[in-house]
Amino acid sequence: MRTVAIVQARMNASRLPGKVLLDIAGQPMLVRVVERARRAALLDAAIVATTTDPSDDPVEELCQEREYPFYRGSMQDVLDRYYQAARQANAGVVVRLTADCPLIDPGVIDRVITAFYGGTAQQPDSLEDFPWDFAANRLPPPWKRTYPIGLDTEVCTIQALEQAWKEASQPHQREHVMPYLYEQGERFRMLVVDHDPDHGSLRWTVDTPEDLVLVRQVYAYFHGRDDFSWYEVLDLYEQHPEIGQINAGVQHKSVRDVDTRPVNEPEA
């Protein structure tokens, strides 16, 4: 069974349009995300899942240029986009990442996958042997986030994803991919992977101009490298606490928030 990271990416972001291809120390943000994710030892592949909207043609062009596998699907039904991408990639285990997290850490990805496998780097022999249906290092309240926003990693079996794909009906469940699984906690075996000490108040994702300024400063500090760990970024925050003030006023969106802008999906 292949363990595949699927990175959702689209140009039509509501708060910072075109953000997935904005420059970060000489490389598009999507490249930073994919290259960092591909360093995770327990991933067999990483695929970009973008949309069929013409605005995302540049995303496809970048993937072709960099030889990244990609899938184009629905703009707003991201759950369907994930499921179809997973089928295309022949994934048995699906790892959800987003293209606005250029500080995503391969060590964190491996830690969540290891927990999902049952505390070992060895994948179970069959889907029936997995101890969990879904694992993540962050969930919405009432759970408490202990990893910085921007290191978000969610893992599930293809069986669980298919069940969500078939049954999820609420708009936020289709747009945010995984809510159906943890909102049906009595039906799915769910694991939350926490970190001690708690760093959940830190914001390392890119959704606003302030976020972009912060991430660019982090990469500038590391001279454009992208092989630094999240612990090195923590050290940077301790040395320069003013960095965290750059986006301290940004309000993080809720899992219940959905994009209500009209969109014309191509006919199947």
The structure tokens 């060590």 sit at: 107
Q: What's the pLDDT at 88?
A: 97
Query: The domain that contains 30 carries what CATH number?
Result: 3.90.550.10
Give mean pLDDT, residues 116-132: 94
The answer to the question of residue 265 being in a domain is no
Sign of CA dihedral 139, 140, 141, 145: positive
Question: Which residue has tokens 């910085």?
Answer: 148
Residue 116 maps to a domain: yes
Mean pLDDT for 252-267 is: 55
Tokens standing for 213? 């300024």
Q: Is residue 266 part of a domain?
A: no
Q: Which residues pair with 135 in a beta bridge?
A: 155, 191
Q: Which domain holds residue 189?
A: 2-245
The overall average pLDDT reported for the chain is 93
Q: Which amino acid is at 69?
A: P
Domain-located, residue 261: no
**What are 8's strand-pairing partners?**
49, 98
For residue 181, pLDDT over 90 is answered with yes
Q: Residue 254 — very low, low, confident or very high, per pLDDT cuts 50/70/90?
A: low
> What does the alpha-carbon distance between residue 18 and residue 56 come to, in Å, rounded to a whole number?
9
Please, are residues 100 and 19 in contact by the beta-carbon 8 Å criterion? Answer: yes
E strand or H helix at 110, and its extent?
Answer: helix 106-117
Residue 259 has a pLDDT of: 58
Q: Is the pLDDT of residue 253 over 90?
A: no
Q: Which residues pair with 22 in a beta bridge?
A: none
The residues, ordered by sequence, that sit 6+ positions from 148 with a Cβ below 8 Å of its Cβ are 103, 199, 200, 202, 203, 204, 230
CB 7 within 8 A of CB 98: yes
d(Cα 15, Cα 5) in Å, to the nearest integer? 25
> For position 267, what pLDDT does the model report?
42
Residue 258, domain member (yes or no): no
Question: Is residue 264, in this structure, part of any structural domain at all?
Answer: no
Q: In the chain, how many domains are there?
A: 1
Q: 């699906």: which residue's tokens?
A: 94
Average pLDDT over residues 213-230: 97
Whole-Å CA distances, 13 to 97, 202, 206, 228? 16, 22, 11, 27
Domain membership of residue 251 (yes or no) is no
How large is the average pLDDT for residues 51-72?
98
Q: 221 lies in a domain? A: yes
pLDDT digits (tens, 9 = 90+) for 153-180: 999 999 999 999 999 999 999 999 999 9
- Integer angstrom CA distances of residue 253 from 137, 149, 257: 17, 11, 7
Q: What are the tens digits of pLDDT across the range 39-48?
A: 999 999 999 9
Q: Is the pLDDT of residue 204 over 90?
A: yes
pLDDT value of residue 13: 87
